[in-house]
Amino acid sequence: MKSNDISINETKYIIESLKQGTRLDGRKLDEIRKPEVVLGDNGYVELGWGQTKVVIKTSSEIVKPFEDRPNEGLLVINNELSPMASIKFDERSVDEVMINRIIEKSIRKSNALDLEGLCIKTGEKVWLIRVDLSIINFDGNLIDSCCFGSIISLIHFKLPNYSLDTNGNIKVYNLDEKPPISLSVLHIPITLSISFFNPLNDEENLKSNNNYEISVFDATMKEELVRDSYLVVSVNSNKELIQLTKLGGIPIDSVELVNLCQRCYAYAEELTELIKTTVKRKEEEEFKRLNLRLLKSVDTR
């Protein structure tokens, strides 16, 4: 984020209005934009988070597992910031690595996906689940939207059914031969980022006991260009913190940080509910369309 392409006037305008508790798009300081989710084919998700648009596709293939983990499947999360989304992303930036790290921490390291269930034959064949994120448009808050989209896509994705014969050959069935299997997602991590703004100078922030810093949920692109620091919180509906990341920037009082985490939990419950209802509705639609009931009776498993 080297080139700060926002004018001094605009910077001051944003901070002045934040001081009075208003934002450019009329939201409250702790209000997030309501995500719009469109589910497509197997594992395909279109997510609109305000003007930020992300398309996520999950796919699978059969590979050899790593030697040190012979009975675990693999999960690869792949995000590339193309210049299509914003001119800011013209070169491979640190942002890209940071977004990837946070998605990996919140989904892979927290064991949101049961990897052992992806094993076909120990040491030889496992499923590799690949989540590809393409950012279509950028208006702030990539981290939240990418994490949210990835987890929906994983829940929405169905693995093709397969069988092993006595010689150890794998037969993968078409989707209409045998009903596909859902991935076992153990919990739903919700990631939210909070931006901090310092309305006064550095001395006031570091030396006084007053906490004037303004915290804002779900920043837009302009707000992101102005912010002094940010915190990323991942939490699930079981009241577990999955990861916290605040990489430098202006220091924030610890009590405030704890309160923000509590606030995030409230949002996490809301968003988890949204995911569950959306996926359920889609599944019902699909069920009606394909009339899988017929096939289900054939399935002997």
Partner 1 sequence: MPRLELYSPEGLRVDGRRWNELRRFECKINTHPNSSDGSSYVEQGNSKIICMVQGPMEPKLRSQMDVNKANIEVSISIAHFSTFHRKKRSKNEKRIVELKTAIENTFENSIISHLYPRTFIQINIQVLAQDGGLLAGMANAATLALIDAGIAMYDYVSCVSAGLYDQYPLLDLNTLEENDMSYLTIGVIGKSEKLALLMLENKMPLDKLEPVLGLAIAGGHRVRELMDEEVRSHGKHRSQRQ
What's the rounded Cα separation, in Å, for the pair 158 and 153?
Answer: 10
The yes or no reply on residue 64 touching partner 1 (CB under 8 A) is: no
Extract the tokens encoding 275: 């995911």
CB atoms within 10 A of CB 119: 18
The yes or no reply on residue 4 touching partner 1 (CB under 8 A) is: no
Extract the tokens encoding 278: 């959306």
Question: Given the complex with partner 1, which of 247 and 298 has the nearer CB atom?
Answer: 247
DSSP annotation of 53 reads E
Nearest CA-CA partner of 14 in 266, 216, 264, 291: 216
* CB-based burial, 221-253: b 16+ in 10 Å, e otherwise: bbbbbbbbbbbbbbbbbeeeebbebeeeeeebe
Number of residues binding to partner 1, judged by CB under 8 A: 41
Extract the tokens encoding 95: 């942002």
What's the rounded Cα separation, in Å, for the pair 204 and 66?
Answer: 52
In the complex, the smallest distance separating the C-beta of residue 176 from partner 1, rounded to whole angstroms, is 39
The residue range among 130-138, 246-254, 270-278, 279-287 that interacts with partner 1, by the rule CB under 8 A, is: 246-254
CA 211 to chain centre: 30
The yes or no reply on residue 235 touching partner 1 (CB under 8 A) is: yes
Residue with tokens 């100078």: 201
Element (H, E) at 210: none
- Please, which residues have CB within 8 angstroms of residue 284's CB and are 6 or more apart in sequence? none
The yes or no reply on residue 74 touching partner 1 (CB under 8 A) is: no
List 240, 270, 273, 284, residue binding partner 1 (CB under 8 A) = 240
In the complex, the smallest distance separating the C-beta of residue 104 from partner 1, rounded to whole angstroms, is 8
List 44, 251, 279, 282, residue binding partner 1 (CB under 8 A) = 251
Extract the tokens encoding 162: 């397969």
CA 203 to chain centre: 36
Q: Which of residues 256-285 bind partner 1 (CB under 8 A)?
A: 257-258, 261-262, 265
Question: Given the complex with partner 1, which of 37 and 194 has the nearer CB atom?
Answer: 194
Q: Which of residues 194-213 bind partner 1 (CB under 8 A)?
A: 202-203, 205-207, 209
Question: Given the complex with partner 1, which of 202 and 285 has the nearer CB atom?
Answer: 202
List 244, 274, 279, 295, residue binding partner 1 (CB under 8 A) = 244
Query: Nearest 5°: CA angle at 85, between 83 and 86?
Result: 70
In the complex, the smallest distance separating the C-beta of residue 189 from partner 1, rounded to whole angstroms, is 10
The residue range among 9-17, 18-26, 250-258, 272-280 that interacts with partner 1, by the rule CB under 8 A, is: 250-258
The yes or no reply on residue 228 touching partner 1 (CB under 8 A) is: yes
What's the rounded Cα separation, in Å, for the pair 222 and 146?
Answer: 19
Positions that interact with partner 1 (CB under 8 A): 94, 97-98, 100-101, 104-105, 109-110, 202-203, 205-207, 209, 228-229, 231, 235, 239-255, 257-258, 261-262, 265
